A = this chain, B = another copy of it.
Amino acid sequence: MSSPADYYDLTRIRPEVLAALDKINALGATFAARAKAVDDDASFPTENYKDLADAGFLGLSIPQEFGGWGFSMGEYAMVGAEIGKYCGATALTFNMHNSSMAWSRFMYDMPNLTAGEKAAFAPLRERQFRRAMKERAIFSQPISEGGQNWTSKPNQTQARAVDGGWKINGFKKFASLAGYCDYYTIVCTEVFDGQEPRHEDTMLFVVHKDTPGLQVKGDWDPLGMRGTNSRDLILKDVFVTEDDLLMPRGIFGKTLPNWPHMMATLSPTYMGVAQGAYDFMVDYLKGKIPGQPPIDRRMYATKRITVGKMYARLANMRALWWQAFSEAKGFPTKGEVMRMYAAQYNVMEGVQEIAALAIRTCGGQSMLRSLPLERMYRDSRCGALMLPYTSEIMEDYLGVLALYEMDEIDTAPGDEGGARNSLWRGDSGTLRMLR
C-alpha cells in the first residue's frame, strides 16, 4: 500500500498535515475491512465516522481558534485522498461534511465582504463550528435537484418569508448522508410574490435532521459510491429562522463565484480511489493480498508495461491535482482556475481508466466481489457524472477559457443549450452571470 512519500514532495508538507495523513493510513485497514458491508447494503459508514471524529478529523477545516486544525483547502484535499484509498464512500461523505465547515471558514475571509457582513457572519459560523466540535455533528450539503447544472439557474428549492423566519419547500436529489447526518445545509432561493426567482436571492440554511417537514425518501441503489446513501430529501414547510443561516444573505453570491475550487472537492475522493485501485493491483500481482494465494504474476511483459503506463497516468493526475489544490484560494487567477478544472477532469477521467485497467491486469479473479477491486471499478465511474463539475462541463469550461479572454466570454458564440461557460467568470463574477 502506498504512502504519501510515494507521490508528494514531503518537504512541502507541514508536519501536522503529514501526521494527519499517516493517521488515515493507520485507520485505513479498518476502513477497508468495513467497505464491503457498506457497499453491499448501501449503508452509511457510521463506524468510520466515529473513528474520524475520535481522531479529530471533523474539525479539520475549522479554524484553530474554534478548536479545529485550521487546515488549508489543499491540506484537506490530501486528507480526503488518503481516505479514498480505502473507502470511496467515506471519503465522499466526509467531503460533504467538510465542505460545510470550509464554506464557513473560507468565505468569511474573503476580502470583498464588508465589515457589516463579517459581523453578521461571525456568530453564524461560530454556531456551526461549535456543533461540529462539541456535538461532533456531521453535516451534509445536498445541492443537486435532479435537473441540469445547478449553477445555471436559481435553485428551485424555495424559501418564503413567514412570521419569524421562512418556510422552505423543495426537493434535493442525491442528498448524500441522507438519514445519517445531523444537519443539512440547504441551498435555496428566497422567493417573493410577483417576482421571478433570482440568483441573488440564494440563501443557505442549516437544518437539523429532526426538523418537522424534512423527509428522506426514495431508494438508493446505484452502481457505485453506495455508502453515500444519497436518497431524496423532501422539504415541506420546513421552518427556519435567521439563526439557522449558514451565512448572511448575499454572501453566497458574492463569494462562491470567486472561490471556484470549493466545488472541486469531490476530486480528492477519486484521486484516492485511483491510488487505491493501483495499490491493490500492485499487491495482487506480487501475490501479497491477505487471504489470496501468493502467486507472483509480475513476469508477464503485458502486465509490466501496462503497470508502467498506469503509473505514468496516475503520476500526472496526482501532480496536477496537487498543484491545483495547493493553489486553492479566493480570487484565483485564470491560470489557477484552469489548472483546477483540468485537475478535476484528469482525476475524474483517469480514475476510471485506472480502475478498468487494474481489473484487466489482475485478471479473472479480481472481478469477484470478495475482492475490493470490483467495487473500486464501480465507484470510479461515478465521479465524472457529479455536478457541478462533470467531465463534460469541464470540457466546455476549459475550451472556452482557453480560447477567449475574460472580457470576451459573455459574448462568445455558443450553442444555446449547449456550450457551458465557466462557473468562475473572473474577479467580477456574480451568480447572475452564470448561464
Contact = CB atoms under 8 A, between A and B. Distances in A.
B403 A298 contact: yes
Given A9-B323, A364-B144, A302 B416 contact: no
A156 interface: no
B327 A320 contact: no
A397 interface: yes
Contact of A412 (B6, B298, B318): B298
A165 interface: no
Could you say how many copies of this chain the assembly holds? 4
A7 B399 CA distance: 16
Contacts of A300: 392, 415, 417-418
12 contacts: A299-B412, A300-B415, A300-B418, A301-B305, A307-B398, A308-B399, A311-B338, A311-B398, A311-B399, A312-B341, A359-B385, A367-B385
A153 interface: no
Interface in A385-402: 385-387, 390-400, 402
Contacts of A361: 392
Interface string A296-324: 00111111111111111001111110111
B345 A363 contact: no
A356 interface: yes
A227 to B, nearest CB: 14
A277 interface: no
Contacts of A396: 301-302, 304-305, 308
A171 B361 CA distance: 24
Interface of A: 5-7, 9, 144, 146, 174, 219, 221-224, 282, 285-286, 298-312, 315-320, 322-324, 326-327, 333, 335, 338-339, 341-343, 345-346, 352, 356, 359-361, 363-370, 374, 377-378, 381-382, 384-387, 390-400, 402-404, 412-419
Nearest to A174: B364
A374 B224 CA distance: 9
A160 to B, nearest CB: 27
A73 to B, nearest CB: 14
A368 to B, nearest CB: 5
Given A300-B418, A385-B363, A308 B392 contact: no
A161 B415 CA distance: 41
